[in-house]
């Protein structure tokens, strides 16, 4: 085998803009690929350049429409494997089905594991992902997984806003996100509080159920990994406001924004909503107070290091 294992970046149809930003960071042209649907909806794939022996990265967040994006990714994998790519890394800035990661009741799937099995079965050699809903999903794979964290991107932006530490309170919007809140608090300083969702219902948001440091008169920053319908987050925001917070910032890596999320967020009293471009946010959903931070440099640098056999974990030291 001759050694022209050049790096190539290809994008599915889920988020070509992110793929292009990554390619720009790496100073590479986008790999040429034709994707489409037959009249009956079946996906077709044709790779339009040589990929034999190349080190291929496929960028495809499996955001909504999740089943379309996932099947397209699987068909891309089959194409690249049969076209003799030397190595295929799936770049999943957002991992669809991640929340179904265990059986809490009987007779349900572990969808996140199924997805892992499907990706491996279709030919993935490695996974590069970002802010998994549960870190244990790494263990759903036996192929190597590089797990990036967007936290430094948020922290860097927030530090740039110059909030005095004494006025900050980091807030976990529910008990499931306390660890994430603590990690941010360690970097950003300030107090720590938890919204106690047991007693707060969506309809009675004026109740003041919080535990931890008081947010009264403070700048509250809430962190979650994703915003889907925004019901849960907006409920938390309302409680934080009812407890007297002066300013409220909301941070979430993955802006899925489905259902009436946009309406809820528009009506909520939020100073700024910070998200990343791990999934596309169509212009119609880009509220004036929505700030999209790019993770293209983070992904691009990780890809470069994977390709060059340099340490990825050192990115976070």
Identity of the residue, 257 or 272, whose beta carbon is nearer to a copy of itself in the bound complex: 257
Q: Looking at 27, 107, 160, 282, which residue binds a copy of itself (CB under 8 A)? A: 107
C-alpha 251, offset from chain centre: 12
59, 195, 222, 256: residue in contact with a copy of itself (rule CB under 8 A): 256
Between 82 and 161, whose beta carbon lies closer to a copy of itself?
A: 82
Which of 138, 155, 207, 289 lies at the binding interface for a copy of itself (CB under 8 A)?
A: 138
Q: How far is the CB of 110 from a copy of itself (least distance, A)?
A: 4
Q: Side-chain half-sphere of 30: how many Cα atoms within 13 Å?
A: 16
CA-closest candidate to residue 163, choices 278, 276, 245: 245
Minimum CB distance to a copy of itself smaller for 112 or for 273:
112
> Of 126, 266, 285, 291, which one interacts with a copy of itself (CB under 8 A)?
126
In whole angstroms, how close is the CB of 37 to a copy of itself at the nearest point? 9
Q: How many residues bind a copy of itself (CB under 8 A)?
A: 101
Of 45-84, which residues contact a copy of itself (CB under 8 A)? 45-48, 50-55, 63-68, 70-72, 74-76, 78-79, 81-84
Catalytic residues, which ones? Answer: 197
Contact call for residue 117 and a copy of itself (CB under 8 A): yes
- Residue from 232, 284, 231, 223 nearest 254 by CA: 223
Binding of a copy of itself by 8 (CB under 8 A): no
Count of CB atoms situated within 10 Å of the CB of 102: 11
Residue closer to a copy of itself by CB (options 72, 247) is 72
Kindly write out the interface string for residues 143-172 of this chain, putting x where it contacts a copy of itself by CB under 8 A and - elsewhere: -xx-x-------------------------
Q: x/- site string to a copy of itself, residues 210 to 229, per CB under 8 A?
A: -xx---------------xx
Phi, psi (deg, nearest 5) at residue 193? -145, 160
Q: What are the backbone dihedrals phi and psi of residue 243, each rounded to the nearest 5 degrees, phi first?
A: -90, 5
CA distances from 191 to 41, 157, 169 (A): 52, 19, 4
137 binds a copy of itself (CB under 8 A): yes
Give DSSP secondary structure letters for 217-248.
TSEEEEEEEEESSSHHHHHHHHHHHHTT-SEE
Report how far residue 253's alpha carbon sits from residue 282's, in angstroms, rounded to the nearest whole number: 16
User: Least distance from C-beta 214 to a copy of itself, angstroms?
Assistant: 11
- Contact status: 130 vs a copy of itself (CB under 8 A): no
Q: Which residue in the set 29, 36, 108, 246 belongs to the binding site for a copy of itself (CB under 8 A)?
A: 108
The yes or no reply on residue 301 touching a copy of itself (CB under 8 A) is no
Residues in a beta bridge with 45: 35
Does residue 14 bind a copy of itself (CB under 8 A)?
no
Query: In angstroms, how far is the first alpha carbon of the chain from the final one?
Result: 37
DSSP H helices in the chain: 16-26, 66-82, 111-122, 151-159, 178-188, 231-242, 261-267, 296-307
Provide the minimum distance between the beta carbon of 19 and a copy of itself in the complex, in angstroms, as a whole number: 19
Answer yes or no whether residue 267 interacts with a copy of itself by CB under 8 A.
no
Q: Taking CA 22 as the corner, what is the angle to CA 253 and CA 301, rounded to the nearest 5 degrees?
A: 80
């Amino acid at each position: 085998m001759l050694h022209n294992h050049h790096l190539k970046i290809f994008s599915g149809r889920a988020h070509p803009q992110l793929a292009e930003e990554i390619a720009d960071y790496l100073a590479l042209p986008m790999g040429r690929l034709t994707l489409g649907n037959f009249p009956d909806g079946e996906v077709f794939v044709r790779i339009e350049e040589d990929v034999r022996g190349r080190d291929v990265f496929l960028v495809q967040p499996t955001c909504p429409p999740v089943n379309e994006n996932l099947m397209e990714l699987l068909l891309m994998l089959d194409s690249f494997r049969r076209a003799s790519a030397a190595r295929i890394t799936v770049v999943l800035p957002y991992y669809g089905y991640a929340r179904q990661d265990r059986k809490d009741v009987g007779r349900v799937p572990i969808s996140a594991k199924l997805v892992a099995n499907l990706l491996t079965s279709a030919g993935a050699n490695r996974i590069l992902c970002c802010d998994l809903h549960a870190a244990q999903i790494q263990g759903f794979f036996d192929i190597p997984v590089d797990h990036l964290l967007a936290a430094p991107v948020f922290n860097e932006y927030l530090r740039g806003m110059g909030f005095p530490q004494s006025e900050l309170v980091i807030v976990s919007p529910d008990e499931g996100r306390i660890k994430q809140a603590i990690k941010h608090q360690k970097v950003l300083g300030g107090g720590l509080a938890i919204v106690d969702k047991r007693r707060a219902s969506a309809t009675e948001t004026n109740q003041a159920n919080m535990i931890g440091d008081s947010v009264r008169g403070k700048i509250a920053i809430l962190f979650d990994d994703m915003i889907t319908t925004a019901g849960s987050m907006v409920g938390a925001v309302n409680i934080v406001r009812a407890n007297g917070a002066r300013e409220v910032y909301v941070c979430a890596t993955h802006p899925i924004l489905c259902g009436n999320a946009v309406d809820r967020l528009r009506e909520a009293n939020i100073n700024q909503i910070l998200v990343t471009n791990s999934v596309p946010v169509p212009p119609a959903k880009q509220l004036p107070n929505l700030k999209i931070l790019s993770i293209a440099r983070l992904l691009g640098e990780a890809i470069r290091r994977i390709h060059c056999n340099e340490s990825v974990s050192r990115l976070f030291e």
